Amino acid sequence: MKITKMQGLGNDYIYVNCLEETVADPAALARKISDRHFGVGSDGLVLIMPCEEADFRMRMYNADGSEAEMCGNASRCVGKYIHDRGLSDKTEISLMTGAGIKILKLAVKDGVTETVRVDMGEPELEGAKIPVNVSGNPVVGAAVEAKGQPFRMTCVSMGNPHAVIFVDDADSFDVHGVGAEIEVNPLFPRKTNVEFVTVKDRTHLRMRVWERGSGETLACGTGACATLVATVLNGLCDKKAVLELNGGPLTVEWDTETNHVFQEGPAEFVFDAEYDA
């Protein structure tokens, strides 16, 4: 099987062009191929597929084999793959995801995609639809406990659930201990991603993310979007900000007139290979 490894701010996935390849059991392949010691090593598996309702379809699987609805970094990489590998010459691509159709706008120079801006759609703020077993619309300042400590979280769905927690110093915070407990907290029927955020100023945020099904990753596009929305809801930042993730900066904007959230950042090829599936 031909595979391609790509990364968006260090959030790395294995990509398979399913216009040419067939993956019989994506969940099993995701678990095997993502292992960083016995496999290729990645945060998960992404399938690029044909689609009748949009230009292409993306299905993505976390490293534990669970299927996720959406990933901002992966969608940027899919956009670059589609254009730079000649699957389409469009610079605006509609992509079907588990969270609906997303629009990718590619910044192309000399035939190479440099950055991708993704319309991530509208944030879901109603507790029951995120889903989180906390009433509210929005869910701001909800109580949650982990590692014997109380925390306050703001919950947002960007097609997948997020719990955003503000901390004094994200760099030194126990992301692994607290994140792992909150991910599987019974408050979240489908588990949750957890973002730990320090507000630097009104246009700069520092964020670390514990991704549902993968653990801490270097970046999370949906998490960055959820974080900006949560920070705006708490009155702590402007509607456009740069988020400093472990893998680098990501620009996120919440256009409250249309209620759409946009994220823009890089996508890079790492290598191509043949994998014995």
Q: Which residues are catalytic?
A: 71, 220
Q: How far apart are CA 227 and CA 194, in angstroms?
A: 10
| Three-class secondary structure of residue 224 per DSSP | helix
Helix (H) or strand (E) holding 194: strand 193-201
Q: Report in angstroms the alpha-carbon separations of 276 from 18, 29, 269.
A: 16, 11, 20
| Beta carbons of 193 and 162 less than 8 angstroms apart | yes
| Beta carbons of 229 and 240 less than 8 angstroms apart | no
Helices (H), the chain: 26-34, 72-84, 175-183, 221-233
φ, ψ at 174 (rounded to 5°)? -80, 75
Q: How far apart are CA 189 and CA 274, in angstroms?
A: 38
| Three-class secondary structure of residue 221 per DSSP | helix
| Three-class secondary structure of residue 147 per DSSP | coil
Question: How many residues in total does the chain contain?
Answer: 277
φ, ψ at 180 (rounded to 5°)? -65, -35
Q: How far apart are CA 277 and CA 274, in angstroms?
A: 9
- Amino acid at the residue 146: A
| Beta carbons of 174 and 210 less than 8 angstroms apart | no
